[in-house]
Amino acid sequence: MATLAHVAAAATDPNLKLTLKVLPALVVILLAAWVCGRVALMVMQPRVLGEMVAGVLLGPTLFGELLPDAQAHVFPSEVRPVLYVMSTIGLTLYMFLVGAGLDHSARTPGEVPRAGVLAMSGVIPSLLLGCFAGAVLWGTLSRPDVSRLQFALFVGGALSLTAFPMLARILYERGLENSPLGRLSLMAASVDDALAWCLLALLSALHLGSGVGGAMRTIALSAVFAVVMIVVVARLLRPLGRDFARTGEIGPTAMYVIVLVPLTAGWLTDWIGIYSVFGGFVAGLTMPRDPAFRKALHERMMSVVSTLLLPIFFTFSGLNTHLDGITGGTMLLAFLLIMAAGFCGKYFGCALAMRGLGFGWRESYAVGALMNARGLMILIFINIGLAQGMITQELFAMLVLVAVITTASAVPLYKLALPERLERAAVAPEPVPREEVVGGGAGPHVPSGGAVQ
């Protein structure tokens, strides 16, 4: 009788009906992410790449092509807004944990200027090459209501991104997030992405008709938000660290505060116009800097966020990816041009900049490989462009492939440049002679902070 009553309620209660549609979708997403993540590890790739590929396979490319009725049943139209909200929350909390996990005490002299140089070396070549590719392909891939300049700037902005969350997760999986190379890459990637989002804000304002003034307002409010968070909110949160030092645990009240801060920050940055992930990251920077507190926070939240919520975003993005649009000689040549512009601009630009900063060639190419991973942020970037009508489905699919390929190449190229023995030396707790690490370079080598696992 209870079962019959439940079935009757499901037939009349719209909330229960929606729940019974969302839960199977989550089961399918998690199973696919787990399987593809395991396969990725078997082929020496980071788990997150497998999860990203799982999202693409669940879209129209494979699942929708082979079993269209089953895909429509698992991912009906009313489920997709729920997936979008969950994925946004997941990205915001993940970037919060990345920001909270950065070890400020491990900062080395001159690190910030070096990160700025590295960031510019990744942005400028990629932006210029991407703009060139966009200008050439404007008539082939653009929408009729988008100008050549806007289209070129969008392609260049997308290719200038480094996948900040993806890079952070690769570094976490390898225990490199607080190594000198890892910290330098993360800081440079954050600058890359901030600049790209400012460009996207400008393009969105121009495309939607709010003009340059609207974009300048977004940039100004973003700067005010960051200053208030780091200067004011960080001081207000210091009692959390003192309470943890006294009790050795993060209590229920502290957890409410900890979760509310990134969600509120994400809401504010969404309202400003720079997407909630940056609000989450800045919120993470405001957390108490005690290493034990950061480790406890990471252990408390990271598994749920990365296992449950991030795969939902990859699937939501994959549902909009139609790779069958990349067919024929013209489209393949267009994809190869975009791919070459993105890869060469970021990889060689960053590697040459690192060499110019005094690092050896091995470390330089290792950082170039890491900075070339684009997966997560470019997916966010192009999803916004697609939703606002700035790009076509064909360009969206090409940039998804760029995300997959550049991210898949990051770890193999990194290992080729910096094999395991040299990598261990690069993150050793004691100083290591430079010649053992890179075989001749003059860049400084500083021991890393402890990895947060």
In whole angstroms, what is the distance from residue 206 CA to residue 389 CA? 12
The number of distinct structural domains making up the chain is 1
Flag the least confident range among 79-93, 340-354, 420-434: 420-434
Highest mean pLDDT among 56-65, 196-205, 252-261, 326-335: 252-261
> Per-residue pLDDT averaged across 264-272, rounded?
88
Token code pair at residue 405: 């390929």
In whole angstroms, what is the distance from residue 208 CA to residue 386 CA? 13
Give tens-digit pLDDT for 292-305.
Answer: 898 889 888 888 88
Query: What pLDDT does 449 receive?
Result: 35
Integer Rg of the chain from CA:
22
CA distances from residue 400 to 49, 172, 299, 339, 396 in whole angstroms, order as listed: 12, 23, 31, 11, 6
Asked if residue 441 is part of any domain, the answer here is no
Q: Is 392 helix (H, G, I), strand (E, B) or coil?
A: coil
Q: What is the CATH number of the domain that holds 80?
A: 1.20.1530.20
Asked if residue 207 is part of any domain, the answer here is yes
Query: What pLDDT does 375 receive?
Result: 73
For residue 140, the enclosing domain spans 18-428
Query: What pLDDT does 3 receive?
Result: 60
Q: Got the DSSP string for 279-290?
A: HHHHHHHTS---
Res. 67: pLDDT tops 80: yes
Average pLDDT, the chain: 80
In whole angstroms, what is the distance from residue 36 CA to residue 26 CA? 15
Give tens-digit pLDDT for 240-257.
Answer: 988 988 888 888 889 999
Token code pair at residue 197: 């989002």
Which residue shows structure tokens 């040459």? 352
Listed residue (328, 334, 306, 329) closest to 398, CA to CA: 334
The rounded percent of the chain whose pLDDT value lies above 90 is: 18
Binned at pLDDT 50, 70 and 90, residue 441 comes out as: very low
Q: What is the DSSP letter of 105?
A: G
Which residue shows structure tokens 């549902």? 319
Asked if residue 81 is part of any domain, the answer here is yes
Residues 6 or more apart whose Cβ sits within 8 Å of residue 68: none
Asked if residue 80 is part of any domain, the answer here is yes
Torsion angles phi and psi, residue 439, rounded to 5: 65, 50
> Per-residue pLDDT averaged across 259-273, rounded?
89
In whole angstroms, what is the distance from residue 75 CA to residue 40 CA? 25
In whole angstroms, what is the distance from residue 368 CA to residue 350 CA? 5
Give tens-digit pLDDT for 383-435.
Answer: 778 877 888 888 888 898 898 898 888 888 888 888 877 766 655 543 433 43
C-beta of residue 314 within 8 angstroms of C-beta of residue 55:
yes
Asked if residue 386 is part of any domain, the answer here is yes
Q: Taking CA 399 as the corner, what is the angle to CA 386 and CA 96, rounded to the nearest 5 degrees?
A: 75
The number of beta carbons lying within 10 Å of the beta carbon of residue 405 is 17
Token code pair at residue 54: 């799982």
Asked if residue 447 is part of any domain, the answer here is no
Res. 174: pLDDT tops 50: yes
In whole angstroms, what is the distance from residue 315 CA to residue 54 CA? 7
C-beta of residue 264 within 8 angstroms of C-beta of residue 319:
no
Asked if residue 109 is part of any domain, the answer here is yes
Higher pLDDT, 212 or 159: 159
Asked if residue 130 is part of any domain, the answer here is yes
In whole angstroms, what is the distance from residue 339 CA to residue 306 CA? 28
**Total length of the chain:** 453
Query: What pLDDT does 204 receive?
Result: 72
Query: What pLDDT does 432 receive?
Result: 39
Say what the pTM is. Answer: 0.74
> Per-residue pLDDT averaged across 199-224, rounded?
72
CA distances from residue 253 to 111, 244, 247, 259, 327 in whole angstroms, order as listed: 36, 12, 13, 10, 55
